[in-house]
Amino acid sequence: NNNWPTQIYVREARRMVGEYVTTEHDCRRVRIAPDPVGLGSYTMDSHNVQRYITKQGCVQNEGNIEVSPGGPYAISYRSLLPKRNECANLLVCTNGVSSSHIAFGSIRMEPVFMMLGQSAATAAVQSLQEGVNLHDIDYPKLRNQLIAEGQRLDIDTDQYPPLLPETEPLTERWRFGDEPDPERGCVVTCENRQTGE
């Protein structure tokens, strides 16, 4: 294959708009889902959309997002379910999970997909045993089974309070040498095209 990967890495694809859409508010614990089936904690990140040349002749990255959720957050069972009136008895626990672009930047990690897969399988078994639609399962029973299987579902909000954007210290945000820093002015690195310096 001449050093070319045999399979491409699909970082993000189309996502359904389900019964519950996990968003940055969930990741920051501003909103906590009442029916969690897993926890996420990875940084909400998205790579640069493009690079452009500034008026000063420097290369500037645009569209990079890297925001730490500051701890774990709950992922709703309903994020795995399509809207009831659109589809029945389907669970989505990987790339199509119902989430915003920003939240998916964190949810997309394989360990989270494994947790959601375990939860989806447990819900499917419960649905079959009870003879009910996946939208109608007894969530408290599902929760108890997941906990019995070792799944962690609860967040200590004393240890991990909501991370409000306005309270996030600017110094805690990821900054790179080629991106503007409002506290220090533009720190864009550039090369003088005339001298090569």
pLDDT in tens, 28-44: 999 999 999 999 999 99
In the 3-class helix/strand/coil scheme, how is 78-100 assigned residue by residue? HHHCECCCCCCCCCCCCCCCCEC
Residue 163: helix, strand or coil by DSSP?
coil
Is the residue at 184 inside a domain?
no
Is the residue at 18 inside a domain?
no
**What does the pLDDT look like over 42-66, one tens digit per residue?**
999 888 888 888 888 888 888 778 8
- pLDDT computed for residue 171 by the predictor: 47
Range of the domain at 29: 24-154
Total structural domains in the chain? 1
Is the residue at 73 inside a domain?
yes
Is the residue at 17 inside a domain?
no
